[in-house]
Each structure stands twice: as structure tokens, then as C-alpha cells.
Amino acid sequence: MHISDIIQAGSPTFSFEFFPPKTPAAAESLYQTIRELEEYMPHFVSVTYGAGGSTRDLTHDLVERIQNTTKLDPIPHLTCVCHSEAEIESILQRYAKSCIGNILALGGDPPRECAYDKSGDAFQNASDLVKFIRRFNESGVHPDPRGFGIGVAGFPEGHPATPNRLVEMEHLKAKVDAGADYIVTQLFFDNRDFYDFRERCELAGIRIPIIAGIMPITSMSGCKRIAELAGGARFPAKLLRALQRCEDDPKMVSRVGVHFALEQCHDLLDNHVAGIHFYTLNKSDATRTIFEGLGIPRRRSEEISASPSR
């Protein structure tokens, strides 16, 4: 089932993001996390790529394992970086064969370990990748006659590579015009940034659902890591002040971070957000605490099994 179909049904979606494990120990830890979060029956889970597609095979394997061994609906990331058209087509064929319903089409991060020449990529922008997936959908290979549902990224605080916010919105509009069905945002800590972004999307003629990305802070070191992952996240003074009061107590830091994220989620739901996407960093404790604090009714198993893609 396309994610946009679920959102249009009326209730907000709740989803989790994982990244592929790099070692057997990390793999076992991740599958434990997946088992713990499966009982919450999220509407979907997304699986990331490493920088430059460095974990692409691990991503494909994890997506198929989730699809075949759990009740979860996985959405793989696909990126433009270091890919040819033939490679992307092969991946799409593989996912279609596995009845994967949706793709998240991203520009992607460049590889860090080697020299990178963007001009050699078949897809220069995420909008080019969206167009290619849309053309693939028209081939009739996918078991769903509509093909893949296509999601793209949005940046409430602005894209780090595009300081001009007007140009940034033009890029987002190009992705939507190319055929995107929904937007998943980068993480943010001030809901005002999200509401402003949502309003600017409306002014730009972007009418597709916008899912908010939330990542709870669970450690002081995590703050710097989050800022690096997000390309420079803005931490409100209110959050920093609360964290500094307890920075020598790791348990209290985690409690403060989770409480702040829970308040964010309550406010987003009160303001009719289309969905909330939790960046889990492959851990379940904080996400489970927030999920339970929101008092979200569990979806029934029959709701999931009734999906055409399952």
C-alpha cells in the first residue's frame, strides 16, 4: 500500500527508521530492536543507506528480511550518489519482486573515504531519481499497478547545501512535480520550524503529505552526533538549558531528551501533522517510551494483513 493512501485515510502515521548493521553483533542488536518495536505495529519502517551507498547491499538484505520475516512494512532509501541507471533499475526490479510498496528517493551523502565526482552520477538531483522511479512504475513490473509510492526528504531548518531558502523550495517543488507522493522531514527540535516549513510548502503549491522527523536526545555526546547527521541541527535554548542542568547524570539527560521529544509529538498531533517518523539510531527504549506516552492505540494485526503489499 502506498503511504499516501494510509495518510489520506485520516489518522496520522507513526513510523521508525533503522540503518543497516555493519557487524554480526550489531545485526543481532538491531533485530532485537526490530522485534521490540514490531509489537507497536508502525505504519512503516525505513532503512537507510550509508554515505555514498556504502551499505547498499546491507540495506537491500535488511529490507527483504524485514519484509519476509516480520509484519512490518519496510521502505528502503535509494540515493543518487555513485549510482548508474542500470544499478537503480536492478534494485527497483529486486524490490518489486519482493513486493516492496514504497521507496524514499534521496540525493544522498557523498562517500567520505575517497574522492567523489558528482558529475559521474547518472542522477544529479533527487528529482531525477524520482522521475526514473516514476518511469519504472509505468513499465508494469511492480505487482501494484501504480508501482512504487515515492517519498522525498524535506528540510524544515533548510538544506545545509542550499542556504538560499527560496531556491531550496524550488528544489523541493521539482521533486514533487517529478512524481513524489509524500515528504519525510529531516529531524528538528523546534516545531515552529516545521509549521513554517509546512506553510511555505503550501505557498509553493506543494500539496502532498508531510511527515515530521523526530529524534530524541539520549546523551550529551548524542547532541553533537545528531547535529553532524543532520548537517547542523538547531537546538533551542530551552532544550540546551534543560540538558545542561543534568549533564553529569546520563539517565537524567535521557529522561530530559525523551520528555522534550514527547512534548514535540503532542504538539505536532494537536496541529494535525500527517505523520511522525522516529529516527531510532537502531535503539528502541526512547522510541517506546515516547510511543507509550502518546497513548496511541495499537493497530490490529488484521489492519496490516489487509494491506495489498503484504
Answer for the pair 105, 57: CB distance below 8 angstroms, yes or no: no
74: part of which helix (H) or strand (E)?
Answer: strand 74-79
Output the nine-digit C-alpha cell for 285.
Answer: 527504549
- Establish whether 247 is a catalytic residue: no
Q: Are 197 and 156 in contact (CB under 8 A)?
A: yes
Sequential DSSP letters for 29-55: HHHHHHHHHHTT--SEEEEPPPGGGTT
* Residue that is written with C-alpha cell 548493521 in the block: 21
Contact (Cβ atoms closer than 8 angstroms) between residue 45 and residue 17? yes
Residue 234 CB: number of other CB atoms within 10 A? Answer: 14
Grid cell, residue 31, equals: 533485530
Give Cα 16 to chain centroid, integer Å.
8
Which one is catalytic: 17, 64, 157, 168?
A: 17
Backbone angles phi, psi at 152, to 5 degrees: -135, 170
Q: How far apart are CA 300 and CA 304, in angstroms?
A: 7
Query: Whats the size of the chain, residue-wise?
Result: 310
Question: What is the dihedral sign for C-alpha 222, 227, 233, 236?
Answer: positive
Residue 276: beta bridge partners?
A: 14, 212
Enumerate the active-site residues.
17
